Amino acid sequence: MAALLTEPLFETSGRAPAANNNFYNFIVTKSYVVWRWWKISPRAVDRYAKPGELKESHEDFLADTWVQNEVSMVFGRRILQYTKALCQGHYDYLEHLPDTLLLRIINSLELEDVGQLGRTSRRFRELCGSEEFWEQAVQQRCNTVSAEMASLACDGGWRSIFFTSKLQLQKLISRRRLKAQEHQGGQVSPDSKAEESPDVMCRCDIDPDPNPESEADSDSSDVKHCVVETPVEQGTEQEETAVQSQTVQ
């Protein structure tokens, strides 16, 4: 398992707290620890001060209280405890895995667990919110990801596609087709918009509706065609109703 770890195991740099403004670099590898410092001072006597470096094995670092105190003073107690654990062989394998492998692992989790994982570290927060993760999440939960869906994702992001209902995706794709027709052949007449075929197949099984009972009450919970009710049809229906009422009278 140690072969999966990349070098260095840990590295950080920064200036010390106020009163000591020197710059420090701390590195932990699989075999040794490196502590470097650069003196920062406006005094003329320190103008030609050379950088310092101390290189020790893991065993020597664990026994060197002076270096440990320096690390704790500059970078904090938490960094000291973490690096001491690395020198003792307590490796954080998950943190050192490549992003591609971590994304495959994250995509096997439930969505609620992904949210919890994103709060554990900065790296997991970036991975859990990345476009790569949400693209894989959509592809895993969809039978087919069309080119039109990919185009929508380029505009709004894959996370937006994931949390968009099937019917809403159909509407967005239909509007996108109408706009493309307007650019290609000029303005589309209202009649042609009304006659636009609603059979835009959204082959995605994602339905993030938090209230599944609302779908159970409908006659067709698995609707995959967007039904468009045109103003012309509504007007005709109202006229027929008026004629029938006059006939009855």
Residue 102 covered by a domain? no
209 and 149 in a common domain: yes
Is 159 domain-assigned?
yes
Query: Residue 170's domain spans which residues?
Result: 144-227
End residue of a domain, out of 78, 95, 112: 95
* Number of domains forming the structure of the chain: 2
Q: Is residue 43 part of a domain?
A: yes
The answer to whether residue 65 sits within a structural domain is yes
Closest CA to 161 of 176, 181, 145: 145
User: Is 249 domain-assigned?
Assistant: no
Q: Residue 246's pLDDT is what?
A: 46
d(CA 168, CA 160): 11
The reply to whether 51 falls in a domain is yes
Residue 15 lies in a domain: yes
pLDDT of residue 244: 46
Per-residue tens of pLDDT for the chain, all 249 residues = 566 677 888 999 999 988 888 999 999 999 999 999 999 888 888 778 889 999 999 999 999 999 999 999 999 999 999 999 999 988 877 777 788 888 888 888 888 898 898 888 888 899 988 888 888 888 777 766 777 777 777 777 877 777 777 777 777 777 777 877 777 765 544 444 434 443 333 444 444 444 444 444 444 434 333 333 334 444 444 444 444 444 444
Per-residue confidence (pLDDT) for residue 186, from 0 to 100? 57
CA–CA gap between residue 181 and residue 246 (Å, rounded): 43
Distance CA 196, CA 115 (A): 40
**Residue 237: exposure state from Cβ atoms within 10 A (0-12, 13-18, ≥19):** exposed
Residue 130: inside a domain? no
